Chains A and B, each alone.
Chain A
Amino acid sequence: MVIAGGGYVGLSLALALADAVPGVRVSVVDLRPPAESAGDPRASAIAAAARRMLETLGVWAALAPHAQPIVDMVVTDSRLDDVVRPVFLTFDGRTEAGEPFAHMVPNGRMVAAIAERAVARGVTVLAPDRVVDFQVESEGVTVSLGSGAQLRTRLLVAADGVRSRLRAFAGIRTSTWSYGQSGIVTTIAHERPHDGRAEEHFLPSGPFATLPLTGNRSSLVWTERTDVADRLVRGDDLVFEVELVRRLGHHLGAVRVEGPRTAYPLGLTLARDFVKPRFALVGDAAHGIHPIAGQGLNLGFRDVAALAEVLAETLRIGGDPGALDTLETYERWRRFDTFQMAAVTDVLNRLFSNDLAPVRIARDVGLGLVDRLPRLKRYFIGEAAGSGRGLPRLLTGAPI
């Protein structure tokens, strides 16, 4: 089969299939060779379930030296000028059996590690190249590449991101709305250690989060109105650092911005359908959600684990991986989870990007209650770590 998009979603799907079904032929097409993304400074929070999948696929060992466990998480609800920020929610950062509920991993290293393993398993990486067209017939799909090559296969998977071109080619419509906010992403170096603690401050302009990286460094996700975010990113270094420290506080000591700072417009994009005959969407191509709970990547890995399991079961019995009834099994499995997560993050964002007193009081009471109810909190931690029920096998740490 052919996978359009060589990010962590496309590559891990290719690897999972090559691992589960010896002899299967999988090609991944991307404009950028995986080795070139090795320098991507962005980092992602890998939930426990996703980490188990990477371990099962044999890539975690290569990532572990660069992974920072999140052992503690503090959530505050504050106005910018509050001197003391009340802590409403603390998480003991373990799900079960001493497993941290998330690790911070640099994206570039993750992509490179998955690609290396996939190629060793026999996956073909076609880069730089791109899918320019495809034609679905009753028993197959012909995929045309920019290089002029044509691939005849039984299934085309689009893992080409939130603005998926293939999704548009396939005529799948989306429900999209913009929050008018952008997420500023950068890496900071700080004087004092973070002790593995993640912090999320719900400021009136939106969430401001620091996530611990290896060494005295943290990844920063800072939400502002899009015009403010653009000004901050393009503006003076000194202004950026002053505004940063205003929000961050002084507990990490002196702070310095490391590497580029980029602003990503935030929106919610949900594909109306995840599959068509001989065509499937995975990851952000199916659902771009607000990063408030850090669930975009983990949702993508859940898609991968579910689709790989459905396809492997079909391929192993000589079935047709591109048949609509095969693909609908994947769609049914992922749809409810995806919409639920999109709805929850949307509500969270609307609730927290708000400075109206009644709303603040209501959510503070709500968060305080969550902290006092161990069972409810366990449920939230479990959900945040993606370890609910009905999980695909890879997410439980078992091979397909």
Chain B
Amino acid sequence: MQDARTTVDPAEVERFSRMAAEWWDPKGKFKPLHKFNPVRLGYLKREVSAHFGRDARALDAFAGLRILDIGCGGGLVSEPLARLGATVVGVDPSATNVEVARLHADRAGVAVDYRAATAEDLAAAGETFDVVLALEVVEHVADVEAFLGLTARMVRPGGLMVVATINRTMKALGLAIIGAEYVLRWLPRGTHAYEKLVRPEEIEGPLQAEGLTLLDRAGVVYDPLRDLWKESRDTDVNYMVLAARPA
């Protein structure tokens, strides 16, 4: 077991555990994440529906799909996906996060299989999924290439992989770290370290090496006038990579 946890950085786990209780308060500490959530859920709903031939407007569009949410935190993504009919496995190395997520899903009457585990644990158990999500995770792992390799191997033939993170550019340093953590105080200082940010090529390379085909690279930008996040072609700061395993 000790070996299987090598891609988790213990200091990162500890930091998020302290904040776990605040996860589901849309006006609390995680407000930025609640603001950010609709754009990535919208992207997932559209792209996953299109890929699997579902009606993107429907409430149960994801019925029958098995989805893995790596680094599920308090369940801000896992729970909505389960509401759309998916069988969701949410894993997080922080037991506190998983407890918070489980508590909330129970009260909301939504079934999510939350596990205090790592991606490595699932890969070792031979689990596979129609969709594997690594949202805002790769910038916190110790070995990006190894992490992407083992997670991509869990994507079933015909399945999808979505990776969302922050680019390692001067613009990202200015906006996502100095802006969001120091000026606007949206995120606690130290949430992101510049040298741990990941460029799109550093994600796409390992995914392709695992046999996945790249489908899309989309940027996400903040619109200060309307106070919301939206999709954009600008991938200099926040961006998402979509890849599929050929059927």
Q: Report A311-324 CB contacts with B as 1/0, cut-off 8 Å.
A: 01101111110011
Complex CA distance for A21 and B80, rounded to whole angstroms? 15
- Nearest A-chain residue to B81, judged by Cβ: A318
| B205 part of interface (Cβ distance < 8 Å) | no
Determine how close the nearest CB of chain A comes to the CB of B67; give it in whole angstroms.
11
* A127 at the binding interface (Cβ < 8 Å): no
Contact check, B56 vs A316: say whether CB atoms are below 8 A apart.
yes
List the B side residues contacting A323 at CB < 8 Å.
26
> Measured between alpha carbons, how far is A315 from B56 in the docked complex, in Å?
11
Verify if B42 is at the interface (C-beta below 8 Å from A): yes
Question: What DSSP secondary structure best describes chain B's contact surface?
Answer: helix
Q: What is the CA–CA distance of A313 and B84 in the complex, to the nearest angstrom? A: 13
Which residues of chain A are within 8 angstroms of B109 by Cβ–Cβ distance?
139-140
Query: What total of chain A residues lie within 8 Å of the partner, measured CB to CB?
Result: 19
A133 contacts the other chain (CB 8 A): no
Shortest CB–CB separation between residue A336 and chain B, in angstroms?
15
Question: In the complex, A22 Cα to B85 Cα: how many Å?
Answer: 13
Residues 97 to 118 of chain B near chain A (Cβ within 8 Å): 104, 107-109
Q: Does B45 contact A (CB under 8 A)?
A: yes
* Among listed B57-65, B126-134, B169-177, interface-contacting one: B57-65
Nearest opposing residue in chain B for A318, CB measure: B80
How many contacts A-B (CB < 8 Å)?
Answer: 53
Which among A23, A139, A313, A324 is the interface contact of B59 at CB below 8 angstroms? A23
Q: Is B83 an interface residue (CB 8 A)?
A: yes
Interface pair A22/B41, CB less than 8 Å apart: no
In the complex, the answer to whether B41 meets A318 with C-beta atoms within 8 Å is yes
Instruction: Answer whether residue A340 sits at the interface, using C-beta atoms and an 8 A cutoff.
Output: no
Question: Cβ of A21 and Cβ of B57 under 8 Å apart?
Answer: yes
A326 to chain B, nearest CB (A): 9
Residues 22-75 of B at the A interface (beta carbon under 8 Å): 26-27, 34, 38, 41-42, 44-45, 55-60
CB <8 Å contact, A138 and B107: yes
Determine the distance from Cα of A386 to Cα of B130 in the docked complex, in whole angstroms: 46
Asked if A237 is an interface residue, CB under 8 A from chain B, the answer is no
B82 contacts partner chain A, Cβ-Cβ < 8 Å: yes
Does residue A126 face the partner (Cβ distance < 8 Å to B)? no
- Asked whether A315 lies within 8 Å of B59 as measured between CB atoms, the reply is yes
- Interface pair A318/B84, CB less than 8 Å apart: yes
Q: Is the CB of B59 within 8 A of A21?
A: yes
**Nearest chain A CB to B107's CB is how many angstroms away?**
5
In contact, A319 and B41 (Cβ under 8 angstroms): yes
Contacts of B139 in A (CB 8 A): none
CA distance in complex: A323, B26 (Å): 9
Any A CB within 8 A of the CB of B204 = no
Specify which chain B residues have a CB less than 8 angstroms from the CB of A318 in the assembled complex: 41, 45, 79-84
- A20 contacts B by Cβ under 8 Å: yes
Interface centre among B27, B44, B80, B107 (most CB of A within 10 A): B80
CB-based contact A139/B83 at 8 Å: no
CA distance A312 to B58 in the complex (A): 10
Known contacts A21-B58, A21-B59, A325 near B83 by CB under 8 Å: no
**CB proximity of B134 to chain A, nearest CB, Å:** 19
Closest residue to B27 on the A side, CB-wise? Answer: A325
Q: Which B residues touch A73, using CB under 8 A?
A: none
Choose from B58, B79, B82, B107 the contact partner of A22 (Cβ within 8 Å). B58
Is B42 within 8 A of A317, CB to CB? Answer: yes
B61 to chain A, nearest CB (A): 8
Contact pick for A317, options B45, B60, B108, CB 8 Å = B45
A24 within 8 A of B: yes
| Residue positions of A touching B, CB distance < 8 A | 20-24, 138-140, 312-313, 315-320, 323-325
A–B complex contacts, Cβ < 8 Å, 23 sampled? A20-B57, A21-B57, A21-B58, A22-B58, A23-B59, A139-B104, A140-B109, A315-B59, A316-B42, A316-B56, A316-B58, A316-B59, A317-B38, A317-B42, A317-B44, A318-B41, A318-B79, A318-B80, A318-B82, A318-B84, A319-B38, A319-B41, A325-B26
Identify the 5 closest CB pairs spanning chains A and B, nearest first: A318-B80, A23-B59, A317-B41, A318-B83, A22-B58
Seed contacts A139-B108, A318-B79; 14 additional CB < 8 Å A-B pairs: A21-B58, A21-B59, A22-B57, A22-B58, A23-B60, A24-B59, A140-B109, A317-B41, A317-B80, A318-B80, A318-B84, A319-B41, A323-B26, A325-B34
